[in-house]
Structure 1
Amino acid sequence: MNPGQIEELIRAGLPGARVAVRSEDNVHFEAVVVSPEFEGKRPLQRHQMVYRALGERMGGEIHALQLTTLTPAEAGG
């Protein structure tokens, strides 16, 4: 799995989200996800929303994912 595929999955699960994923080895990933759906949600809830979008790939094809989840206001627009 590559960063582009992960971005597509997250965007499909969180329509309207801005997503940037990077990885040096295609096993360990870092993602920044900005979505209005995160408004009023705690960090754990936000992460769970992203994990749901990725489904069973978490812990399988995606060994590790470091997440930064922000609302548009938190991201500065």
Structure 2
Amino acid sequence: MPMPAEDIARLIREGVPGAKVEIIDLAGDGDHYKAVVTAEAFRGMPRVRQHQLVYKALQGRMGGELHALALETRTP
């Protein structure tokens, strides 16, 4: 069962406090998303570490409930 965009955004906001999260359904199927995450917490962090922080916030759902997630991280 696909994961609703609202759940993805909520998990990311909970795992990355203060994050602004935009979820885009790339294929219109509720299974392929892009997340644009903007957070002060990313400042000074390499991009790989930023992405790891977001994936950790998803609590192991990548590859299961959440099939595909393109990720873009930014600092404000």
Amino acid at match of 2:42: F
Match status 1:70 vs 2:74: yes
User: Pairwise mapping of residues 1-77 of structure 1 onto structure 2 (< 5 A)?
Assistant: 1-23=3-25, 24-72=28-76
Question: How far is 1:48 from its partner?
Answer: 0.2
**Percent sequence identity over matched residues?**
49
What is the root-mean-square deviation in Å for CA atoms of aligned residues? 0.7
Aligned length: 72
| Superposition TM-score, scaled by structure 2 size | 0.90
Distance in 2 separating the partners of 1:29 and 1:62: 9
Moved over 2 A (4+): none
Greater fraction of residues in helix = 1
Aligned counterparts of 1:31 and 1:52: Cα–Cα separation in 2:
14
Partner of 1:75 in structure 2?
none
**Other structure's SS at 2:60 match:** helix
The normalised TM-score by structure 1 is 0.89
